[in-house]
């Protein structure tokens, strides 16, 4: 069996829910697990976007226009 590296507790939760989804026998239970997994993956992607922002090494003074740069 391979080694699985998890980035956060949310990744752990997704893995657990994926396992439970694979064991689900009821369509209702499977739908609930799929919904929860989708919510967690959305939350994970949003949190990674916040973390992955790179700070510029160039010093720039804050101004009104820089607030609108994505």
pLDDT of res. 70? 39
| 68, pLDDT greater than 80 | no
Which sequence spans correspond to the domains of the chain?
1-50
CA angle at 14 for the pair 8 and 16, rounded to the nearest 5°:
110
pLDDT tens readout for residues 12-61: 888 899 999 999 999 999 999 999 999 998 988 887 666 555 555 555 55
pLDDT of res. 46? 82
More confident call, 35 vs 1:
35
Start-end of H helices in the chain: 9-23, 27-51
Asked whether 24 and 16 are in contact (CB, 8 A), the reply is no
Question: What letter does residue 64 receive in the DSSP assignment?
Answer: T
Which pTM was predicted? 0.58
> Three-class SS of residue 62?
coil
């Amino acid at each position: 069996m391979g080694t699985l590296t998890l980035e956060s507790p949310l990744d752990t939760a997704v893995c657990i829910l994926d396992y439970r989804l694979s064991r689900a026998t009821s369509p209702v239970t499977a739908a609930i697990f799929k919904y929860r997994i989708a919510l967690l993956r959305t939350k994970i992607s949003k949190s990674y976007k916040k973390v992955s922002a790179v700070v510029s090494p160039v010093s720039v003074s804050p101004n009104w226009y820089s607030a609108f740069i994505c």
